[in-house]
Amino acid sequence: MRAAIFRGPGEITVEEVPKPEVESPTDAVVRVTHTAVCGSDLWFYRGESDREEGSRVGHEPMGIVETIGEDVRSVEPGDRVFAPFLQSCGRCEFCRKGLHTSCVNGDRWNDENGGGQGEYVRATEADGTLVRVPDRHADDEDTLEALLPLTDVMGTGHHAAVSAGVDEGDTCIVVGDGAVGLCGVLAARRLGAERIVAMGHHEDRLELARAFGATETISARGEEAVEQARETTYGGATHVMECVGAASAMETAIDVCRPGGTVGYVGVPHGVNEDGLDLFGMFGDNITLSGGVAPVRAYAEDLMADVLQGTLDPSPIFTKTVDLDGVPEGYRAMDERDAIKVLVKP
Amino acid sequence: MRAAIFRGPGEITVEEVPKPEVESPTDAVVRVTHTAVCGSDLWFYRGESDREEGSRVGHEPMGIVETIGEDVRSVEPGDRVFAPFLQSCGRCEFCRKGLHTSCVNGDRWNDENGGGQGEYVRATEADGTLVRVPDRHADDEDTLEALLPLTDVMGTGHHAAVSAGVDEGDTCIVVGDGAVGLCGVLAARRLGAERIVAMGHHEDRLELARAFGATETISARGEEAVEQARETTYGGATHVMECVGAASAMETAIDVCRPGGTVGYVGVPHGVNEDGLDLFGMFGDNITLSGGVAPVRAYAEDLMADVLQGTLDPSPIFTKTVDLDGVPEGYRAMDERDAIKVLVKP
């Protein structure tokens, strides 16, 4: 089969690799029909984080189950399924409490089981990992494109909202206008937030934020942005969603958080340790920092129900579609911000 | 009047200074009968944080109201009162939500209103700041010494427990065996924790921790301590109370926190920004960091009720008592760990 491979910063290739097969009774092999390029992929693409050269990439697979191991109960060959960016068993302490990202039997998508950006993947804990799309929706392309973000960014935006404690009638601030931030706006609206202030730097993305439910947007930078956010919220919001992960965004999130409030953070921390986190500012204002890598598997069924009933549609974040050969171009487009998020149809 | 003055690292003097007087209608002047030296005072005493030379020190006053401004309603001359380490108005948004440390009209104890370690202080927001001890208990020395920690360390230990989400039947870990950590053990027991694992480095203090309700103690250092704590809690506690503030203690707290758990932190952050916070570790395990400077005024009435009914007594943390002239010796004793906490009777 063919799959996307990381060959060094700025260089993604599509190469022939061994096709994954069922190896253990809990495995399922899935033919990937839809996947995506993730903002978190840009860190290694830009050389800002380490990744082994020659490794397979991608972690947001959706497709058709091809074969299953003998212990697999929840899916059958022919089922349309999607999977979170991390695999999880569904039966350990952490899966049962909804923290599938800490699964003791979990695994990443990797060279062994196939990166997400390829023709096939092998789910090593198929029952715990794969989410089955009901048959009546399984071939509806619009629905599938609306479901695909549940593999990562929609669940992550939702985790930011949940972690920040967003509830009915609340005012919240969303820091970041990337795919996660935009999904965060959708999530906050879905949870009933009354005022959603989206902060970002790109007018087209902030326009999408407004379409997604942001009641206000702030496009200024640095201290001016913080001042505008504080002014419009009369001193900061009690619920702030940090959807970037960069040190500057984390600093902004803490700065616009009201004393006693909570910053829900979900962006992979990047440069925060080097540049320092303003712990002293958090300390003085009793700001809670909550969140982390999003257990999107925990949220998949609830969010899917909303997508299937037509009340949630994150698919407008896909502003570009490529086939497998187009994956390198997809990385380039996201790196250069020509696309918010790239849909891949292998 | 006489008051303790900071004259540079390692040097505290007791000098003649102007006595505070009622200056505004909300003021009350209190003759200090009891106060204390705080672990947080050691940072400037050791030259590890900045403080202006010549400034008055202390922030845990208890005493008798001498004079009041015309708007003061809640106390009268002759009342026994104590006050938190920060003054607060009691009527702003933050005071009303129990976050008195973010009071918009608040103030520190300083040269203007008298540091706590002196003969008199002036409470600038007397109604919001001063806690009145009921008359029937107002002259009972044992009760007063049990109440004095409510000005700071007992409320702070309680804030750690509340911030960490400690509840009936929980297992929790308390990092730090100083006065705040020991009060944290008391607070966790008071909130119904079933297992309380106290981590520290001093056998005498850990013995007091056991007397206060710790079910286990760990005196090892570094990675060995972390391993012991993880082992005894089968993988870390969901509720961890960080009661030191040093970078190493914060790191330990995060390391012994179970995935999905919460670190309640109340120690003034010290060296954490320089040494870096393990945000990536927190991110991967979805560990929440909650807490900050403790709004001890919010907890004063509840904790006082327990002290007065005899079910809470943090006074054993005072292992040395001095008069005003003995304050320099009190700092020395705490600096050299000859005393857990020093009681001062001016």
Q: What is the pLDDT of residue B346?
A: 93
Alpha helices in B278-324 (DSSP H): 279-285, 296-308
Contact B284 A101 (CB under 8 A): yes
Pairing between β-strand B120-123 and β-strand B28-37 as defined by DSSP bridges = antiparallel
- Does the distance separating the beta carbons of A289 and B289 come in below 8 Å? yes
> Is residue A322 within a helix (H) or strand (E), and if so which, with residue range?
strand A318-323
What is the distance between the alpha carbons of residues A121 and A71, in angstroms, rounded to a whole number?
18
* Cβ pair A179, A187 in contact under 8 A: no
Predicted pLDDT of residue A276: 64
Q: Is the pLDDT of residue B232 over 80?
A: yes
Mean pLDDT score, A71-88: 97
Task: Give the model's pLDDT for residue A269.
Answer: 80
| Nearest one of B191, B197, B236 to B215, comparing CA atoms | B197
B260 to chain A nearest CA, in Å?
A: 7
Whether residue A71 is predicted with pLDDT greater than 90 in this model: the reply is: yes
| Position B242 pLDDT exceeds 90 | yes
Distance from CA of B310 to the nearest CA of A (A): 31
A292 touches chain B (CB under 8 A): yes
Q: Are the beta carbons of B290 and A288 separated by less than 8 Å? A: yes
Q: Does position A180 have pLDDT exceeding 80, yes or no? A: yes
Instruction: State which of A63-77, A266-280, B241-255 shows the largest mean pLDDT.
Output: A63-77
User: H helices of B46-152, where?
Assistant: 93-96, 126-129, 141-147
All domains of chain B in start order, with CATH: 2-152+295-345 (3.90.180.10), 154-291 (3.40.50.720)
pLDDT of the residue at B260: 98
Task: Give me chain B's average pLDDT, please.
Answer: 95
pLDDT of residue A274: 62
Q: How confident is the model at residue B166 (pLDDT cuts 50, 70, 90)?
A: very high
Per-residue model confidence (pLDDT) at position A112: 87
Which chain A residue shows the shortest CA-CA distance from B103? A259
Residue of B nearest to A291 (CA): B286
Buried b (16+ CB within 10 A) or exposed e, B64-94: ebbbbbeebebbeeebbbbbbbbbbbbebeb
DSSP A252-308: HHHHTEEEEEEEEE-SPPBSHHHH---HHHHHHHT-EEEE-S--HHHHHHHHHHHHH
% of chain B with per-residue pLDDT over 90:
91
pLDDT band of A162, cuts 50, 70, 90? very high
A144-150 mean pLDDT:
98
B268 interfaces chain A, CB cutoff of 8 Å: yes
For range A70-88, the mean pLDDT: 97
Chain-chain contact of A293 with B284 (C-beta, under 8 angstroms):
yes
How many Cβ contacts (< 8 angstroms) between chains A and B?
93
Q: What percent of chain A has pLDDT over 70?
A: 99
Asked if B20 and B122 count as a contact pair (C-beta separation under 8 A), the reply is: yes
Q: Residue A272's pLDDT is what?
A: 66
Query: Would an 8 Å CB–CB cutoff place B134 in contact with chain A?
Result: no
Closest CB from B269, B283, B293 relative to A292 = B283
pLDDT value of residue B272: 65
ipTM higher than 0.90?
A: yes
- Sign of the dihedral defined by the CA atoms of residues A55, A56, A59, A65, in that order: negative
Contacts of A32 (CB under 8 A, 6+ apart): A61, A62, A63, A116, A118, A119, A120, A121, A346
With contacts defined as CB-CB under 8 Å, which chain A residues touch B280?
Answer: 269, 273
What average pLDDT score do residues B10-18 get? Answer: 96
The pLDDT > 70 percentage for chain B reads 99
Q: Taking CB atoms and an 8 Å limit, are B285 and A273 in contact across chains? A: no
State residue B258's pLDDT score: 98
Is the pLDDT at B29 greater than 70? The verdict is: yes
pLDDT band for position A279 (cuts 50, 70, 90): confident
> Of the candidates A197, A187, A124, which has an alpha carbon nearest to the alpha carbon of residue A155?
A187
Give mean pLDDT, residues A169-182: 98
Q: Residue A324 corresponds to which tokens in the numbers above?
A: 């497998």
Average pLDDT over residues B104-120: 91
Kindly report, residue by residue over B77-87, the tens digit of the pLDDT.
999 999 999 99
Q: Give Cβ neighbours of residue B336 (< 8 Å, ≥ 6 apart).
A: none
Rounded CA-CA distance A175/A157 in Å is 11
The amino acid occupying position A173 is I
Q: What is the pLDDT of residues A113-125, one digit of tens each?
A: 888 899 999 999 9
Per-residue tokens: B191: 């909130």
Q: Is the pLDDT of residue A6 over 70?
A: yes
Q: Is the pLDDT of residue B124 over 70?
A: yes
How far apart CA B154 and CA A9 sit, in angstroms, is 53
